[in-house]
Amino acid sequence: MECWNFFNDLKSNIVGQYADCRSYRLLCEIQGYNLIKDLESEQDIVNILFMADTIKKNLLTYFLALLQYLLRN
């Protein structure tokens, strides 16, 4: 039977999303949190910025649209 480690699986998934999603990484960095460096133990899980994938995927588009609107007005 394969040994399952929840923390390592969660960390792998979250760090992958952090590395691949520019807008999610930016939000984390604004809060001073670097998931690649700062997710070292189970106690660090409480600091993870959780959000739905659909929000992460569209966040940059929404942000750029808002920025363009603000620059025009």
**Angle CA 45–47–50, to nearest 5:** 85
> What is the model's pTM?
0.62
CA distances in angstroms from 10 to 4, 13, 17, 36, listed in the order given: 11, 5, 11, 12
Question: Cβ(60)–Cβ(23) under 8 Å?
Answer: yes
Residue located via tokens 């750029």: 64
Say what angle helices 22-30 and 6-20 make with each other, to 10 degrees.
100
- Report pLDDT digits (tens) over 1-37: 455 788 899 899 888 888 888 778 888 888 888 888 8
Mean pLDDT lowest among 10-14, 57-61, 67-71: 57-61
